[in-house]
A and B are shown apart, each in its own frame.
Chain A
Amino acid sequence: MQKSLHINPEKCTGCLQCEMACSYENYGVYAPAKSRIKVFDFHHTGRKVPYTCTQCDEAWCLHACPVEAITVDKATGAKVVNETTCVGCKVCTISCPFGTVNYVQETGKVQKCDLCGGDPACATACPTGAITYIDANWTGLNKMQAWADKLGNQAA
């Protein structure tokens, strides 16, 4: 079964535990600046929205890469940057419609979410369930259930 990161902004409090978990997993430091998942705080509405790569099937970044540095992890479906192959040309950062693959000055390579090999640290760290890692075919299950409850579960 393939799984997907599932994000529910309504549950996000903006604590950034996910960003710290991501940077710790990949760089061994607590540094939101190095995180591959970002939480955006829209203060005029009070909304906090975590955002990261959705692992497109026909991934623009993968197709755009001239040196084939981005490959598919068959187990997780993640599009993974091979750092030894990446030349830092940044074409993937231009091709990605969502902005979730980014250049890292310090390494001269790009970085993106790789689902931590199947156990995403952000989801483990999230204290509110705003970020979960669930069955890729049923990311809508909770929403469906909530609406089913609302529309069809009234007491007789």
Chain B
Amino acid sequence: MSWAGKILRVNLTAGTVAVEPLNMTWAKQYLGSRGLATKYLVEEIDAKVDPLSVDNKIIWATGPLTGTMASTGGRYTVVTKGPLTGAIACSNSGGYWGAELKMAGWDMVIFEGKSAKPVYLYINDDVAELRDASALWGQSVWATEEALKKQHQDPLLRISSIGLAGENQVLYAAVVNDLHRAAGRSGVGAVMGSKNLKAIAVRGTKGVGNIANPKEFMKVTFEKKKILAENAVTGQGLPTYGTQVLMNVINEIGALPTRNHRDSQFEGAKDISAEAMATPRESDGKKQLVTNQACFGCTIACGRISKIDQTHFSVVNKPQYWGATGGLEYEAAWALGAANGVNDLEALQYANTICNEQGMDPISFGATVGAVMELYEMGVLTQEQIGIASPFGSAQALCELADLTAQGKGFGKEIALGSKRLCAKYGHPELSMSVKGQEFPAYDGRGIQGMGLTYATSNRGACHLRSYTVSSEVLGIPVKTDPLVAEGKPELVMAFQDATAAFDSAGICIFTSFAWGLADVQPQVAAACGEEFTLENLALIGERVWNMERDFNNRAGFTAADDTLPPRLLNEAVKTGPAKGLVSKLPEMLPKYYEIRGWDAGGQLKPETRAKLGL
């Protein structure tokens, strides 16, 4: 119930589209979206497969709450083996596309093989066909959306596609839908590009009606929306300021990584904050922020819609960028700004816009530019090599490198490799601020100790969305813990990891967790899917999903040695602020974490753990 019960299997090599029933045994064990798509992937591919080879598969998946009136029930997940990390890649996105796929009557679409020429998948309810995308190849995400809507005479078509970055196989290329919502991380867009798959265009008119207990579902989702509305974070902070509400907060606690993690506080934080976005500019008297925007079904509406300053150097003579478009979220503002020491809010908006237009993860892109700037300041990289002087703080370099990387030109081809490969190539692997090849997001693991453990153990490489202990350590949700200590963090991280896996697998947004616990999600899932989804069962599903991902990574060749942080975080103490003098206490936390996970010292699942989780 609440699942559509059908999936599409597309063989790109053969050019065929087949319909399969959803494996309901797995749906009950892995729920949907992240969990269920990962189950399909790990069953169907060899963990050691080259992510950009024909043998990798890539799956677009919705959850049982996707396309319903549950708040934020519009999410979908793209699951594959990631080219940036070589680990499981699982990126989720909002916007409207996920709900549209579900409403067309499909839980997921599995792509296998590789097309000989560029194609897109067109879905109109029961109709699902591969079509020629030769004319779309070389086009941006925005141009692709416009062209497909025009071609199909359907302004309501929803499109999930790649831009130039995905075509060029930038290792952190994103899949973008609805112009500026992205399945952003781990290079899922590069896998799409490697298969010559340009887009999935969907129109779903059937709707979602297969709810187990519809009256109860309407009642309980209404009650839970009320909790979101009355909560200070989800009811006020996020709709008003977006995730950018965090910029000044994280800077003040001394956990805002700055200049490739050399520093942990940024003197320009206020210039790139939510408050700055909402302050009229000197140049034109207008605010950068135009309005907020919700994704499908979302009653929080944290999304930003912004307008760049038309007189800014980055957009002079480029009127295509003068309209309202996706604005800066906190992670992007940090990665494009603080991580590079750039405090020019308009430059950040420009680079962010290029990331949306051409489908590129702004976190990994921005953090890689940070590494390039450090190498430049050390004299390892020169202006001749890069093509532009690239000291920390250069807004010109940031904008230029965004263009070059998205278009696959010049030094952009090297930035496209991500910081791990780039730093190794130039003899300084220690300067890549990454775990398992994926760049850190916007929280210093020394000043927020739980995030250090979060990054080290994240199944998709460094990521904040796998266990956002910032909630507890900084915001006090659900309980306040001390960000500077290691004690209790293994338990905290594990609890967040498992709960997040359950939220993600349901098809809702993790931002609801500022106001909802798993106990608030459970009655919604139970009303939609059936009474067997008790709180205990959902918690177990979360833990099962986490361990399944881990087990895949182990089989892919990762070991305990990969659950680590760059030497800068382990050896170089924070210089200023409340965390001054601290390094990451990872060595203290990791053994305890393995123990409570039921893993051996090598990070492998113990037999009893497998037995408990049915793996």
A interface residues with partner B (beta carbon < 8 Å): 13-17, 20-21, 23-24, 27-34, 43-48, 125, 127-128
- Does B293 reach chain A (CB closer than 8 Å)? yes
Contacts of A31 in B (CB 8 A): 103, 204-209
Contact with A along B271-306 (1 / 0, CB 8 A): 000000000000000000011111111110100010
Bound together, the chains give a CA A62 to CA B290 distance in angstroms of 40
- Does B225 reach chain A (CB closer than 8 Å)? yes
CB <8 Å contact, B206 and A13: no
- Min CB gap B206→A, angstroms: 7
Contacts of B209 in A (CB 8 A): 27-31
Contacts of A30 in B (CB 8 A): 67-69, 103, 207-209
CB <8 Å contact, A34 and B207: yes
Q: Who on chain A is nearest to B325 by CB?
A: A43
Contacts of B291 in A (CB 8 A): 46-47
- Min CB gap A35→B, angstroms: 10
* Complex partner residue of B301 from A15, A20, A47, CB under 8 angstroms: A15
Q: A15-B296, A16-B297, A30-B207 are in contact. Are A21 and B324 (CB under 8 A)?
A: no
Bound together, the chains give a CA A34 to CA B208 distance in angstroms of 11
Q: Using A20-B297, A31-B206 as known contacts, list a sample of 6 further A-B pairs with CB atoms less than 8 Å apart, ordered by residue number in A.
A: A15-B299, A31-B208, A32-B103, A46-B307, A127-B225, A127-B299
* Complex partner residue of A33 from B103, B305, B323, CB under 8 angstroms: B103
User: How many chain B residues touch A (Cβ–Cβ < 8 Å)?
Assistant: 36
* Complex partner residue of B323 from A24, A44, A127, CB under 8 angstroms: A44
CB <8 Å contact, B67 and A15: no
Bound together, the chains give a CA A17 to CA B298 distance in angstroms of 8
Give the 10 A-B CB pairs with smallest separation, nearest first: A31-B207, A29-B209, A29-B207, A33-B205, A15-B294, A13-B294, A46-B305, A13-B301, A46-B324, A127-B299
Contacts of B179 in A (CB 8 A): 43
Contacts of A128 in B (CB 8 A): 301
Contacts of A13 in B (CB 8 A): 239, 292-294, 298, 301
- Min CB gap A119→B, angstroms: 14
Contacts of A27 in B (CB 8 A): 207, 209
Q: Who on chain B is nearest to A16 by CB?
A: B296
Bound together, the chains give a CA A44 to CA B324 distance in angstroms of 5
- Does B214 reach chain A (CB closer than 8 Å)? yes
Bound together, the chains give a CA A28 to CA B96 distance in angstroms of 20
Bound together, the chains give a CA A151 to CA B266 distance in angstroms of 43
- Does B218 reach chain A (CB closer than 8 Å)? yes
Contacts of A33 in B (CB 8 A): 103, 156, 203-207
Contacts of A127 in B (CB 8 A): 71, 225, 229, 299
- Min CB gap A77→B, angstroms: 27
Contacts of B307 in A (CB 8 A): 46
Contacts of A32 in B (CB 8 A): 103, 207
Q: A27-B207, A29-B207, A46-B324 are in contact. Are A21 and B305 (CB under 8 A)?
A: no
Query: B164-210: which residues lie under 8 A (CB-CB) from chain A?
Result: 179, 203-209
Q: A23-B207, A30-B67, A44-B323 are in contact. Are A15 and B103 (CB under 8 A)?
A: no
Q: Who on chain A is nearest to B299 by CB?
A: A127
Contacts of B214 in A (CB 8 A): 28
- Interface centre among B290, B294, B295, B325, by most A CB within 10 Å? B294
Contacts of B298 in A (CB 8 A): 13, 15
Query: B19-73: which residues lie under 8 A (CB-CB) from chain A?
Result: 67-69, 71
Q: Who on chain A is nearest to B102 by CB?
A: A30
Contacts of B297 in A (CB 8 A): 15-17, 20
Bound together, the chains give a CA A39 to CA B324 distance in angstroms of 18
Q: Who on chain B is nearest to A12 by CB?
A: B294
14 of the cross-chain contacts (CB-CB < 8 Å) are A14-B293, A14-B294, A16-B96, A17-B69, A17-B297, A27-B209, A30-B67, A30-B103, A31-B208, A33-B156, A34-B205, A43-B325, A45-B324, A127-B299
CB <8 Å contact, B229 and A15: no
Q: Who on chain A is nearest to B323 by CB?
A: A44
- Min CB gap A102→B, angstroms: 13
Contacts of A14 in B (CB 8 A): 293-294, 301
CB <8 Å contact, A21 and B205: no
Bound together, the chains give a CA A15 to CA B69 distance in angstroms of 10
- Min CB gap B495→A, angstroms: 29
Bound together, the chains give a CA A24 to CA B207 distance in angstroms of 9
Bound together, the chains give a CA A47 to CA B290 distance in angstroms of 9
Q: Who on chain A is nearest to B304 by CB?
A: A46
Bound together, the chains give a CA A16 to CA B484 distance in angstroms of 42
Contacts of A29 in B (CB 8 A): 206-209
Contacts of A28 in B (CB 8 A): 209, 214
Bound together, the chains give a CA A128 to CA B225 distance in angstroms of 11
Bound together, the chains give a CA A47 to CA B324 distance in angstroms of 9
Q: Who on chain B is nearest to A15 by CB?
A: B294
Bound together, the chains give a CA A32 to CA B158 distance in angstroms of 13
Contacts of A23 in B (CB 8 A): 207
Q: Who on chain A is nearest to B155 by CB?
A: A40
- Min CB gap A23→B, angstroms: 6
Bound together, the chains give a CA A20 to CA B204 distance in angstroms of 13
CB <8 Å contact, A24 and B292: no
- Min CB gap B491→A, angstroms: 35
Q: Who on chain A is nearest to B307 by CB?
A: A46
CB <8 Å contact, A20 and B290: no
Q: Who on chain B is nearest to A40 by CB?
A: B155
Contacts of A16 in B (CB 8 A): 96, 296-297
- Min CB gap A39→B, angstroms: 10
- Min CB gap A147→B, angstroms: 22
